[in-house]
Amino acid sequence: MSQPEVIFANAKLVMPTEIITGSLSISNGLIADIDQGKNIPSGAIDCEGDWIMPGLVELHTDNLERHITPRPGVDWPHLPAILAHDAELASVGITTVFDALRVGSISRARDAYEPYARGLASELLSLRDHGGLRISHYLHLRAEICSETLTQELAQFFDHDRVGIVSLMDHTPGQRQFRDISQYRRYMTGKHGMSHHEFDDYVERMRALSQRLGPTHRHQAAVEARRLGAILASHDDTTNEDVAASKVEGVSIAEFPTTPEAAQACRQAGMAVVMGAPNVIRGGSHSGNVAAIDLANEGLLDILSSDYIPAALLLAAFQLGDSWGNLARAIALISENPAKAAGLTDRGSLTTGKRADLLRVTLLNGTPRVRHTWVKGLRSA
């Protein structure tokens, strides 16, 4: 059944490299035509000078996990949690998401964490297949290198599971994100209530586990990504050696490099550099790593991720747009660039023939506010 044509007029259209005043029409879920000028055709929606921009593409968010486990030890009913997560993303302009799910678990310890990804993915994909979701969902499997069960859990996924990204996550104490043991000690004793003795024992066990299984897990995760047809990402590269290893494994997306040196090496290796939008908004990393704004100003930032706050994407892009004097360039960080990095050529920009994943955005006391979201030409929020 065909959809009626919809025309948005008198809008600031955020094009790939510039912003123009004009109108945009959509038909059958696609962008049909773009015209410049202030003319308002009969029957068109008068956007009153609001921005019309491409829907946001989110490559790495832990938001679904937050809805499933809103408090430590709380397993919230999954169906309403998925629906709430989906609705939240639509409300802040995210039209395509790669939901991050951990694969790789640890048992028989005070700090144990059990497998959950396969079951939750099945529930999410079933809901999608029945038309129950507002936006487009893919899976991002966070492969925990320092774990016991990574290879077994990855083997439970198949090419029909919409796995778009597999990321290599190595949380071995003393390296990458947790290179500073004193800072890591504060994090673990504060968040998980560990005593100093428990923390020391934990570090010893995790290092032994990483030494025993880490190399096998890194290799197997890369093999499984290829089997699933997924993009391979690295996480928290810190040194030139980290980046070199990622390049050998076939990584094309570098998530959250922790140092300027690593970010520069990632760029030289042809990897798309992803940093957190909350890092931009806060003016720095909450864990003491490199500030995203510094990489942005050095031309080393390709993509923003909301990470743990979905609403951060649009706000961070507007802040960067103000700083650069170029909003179109900043919006590309949360739309066209992540779409390209994930291999999604059918969306991400206001281009005729592409999916009509769109936002209407206005400012409220200087803060961007999503008035409406459309996915494939249908209003979702």
Q: How confident is the model at residue 180 (pLDDT cuts 50, 70, 90)?
A: low
Q: Of all residues in the chain, what percent carry a pLDDT higher than 70?
A: 90
Q: Tokens for 91?
A: 């409300």
Q: Of 144, 216, 141, which is closest to residue 178 (Cα–Cα)?
A: 144
Q: Domain 55-347: which CATH class?
A: alpha beta
Strand order in 56-61's β-sheet? Answer: 56-61, 94-103, 136-144, 163-169, 231-235, 253-255, 272-276, 303-305
Please report, for the chain, the start and end positions of each structural domain, with discontinuous segments joined by +.
55-347
Residue 135: the pLDDT is 98
pLDDT exceeds 90 at position 110: no
In the block, residue with structure tokens 């700090």:
111
> CA distances (Å), 349 to each of 38, 56, 163, 224, 291, in order?
21, 9, 23, 31, 27
Q: How confident is the model at residue 351 (pLDDT cuts 50, 70, 90)?
A: very high
Q: How confident is the model at residue 201 (pLDDT cuts 50, 70, 90)?
A: confident
Mean pLDDT of 54-80: 94
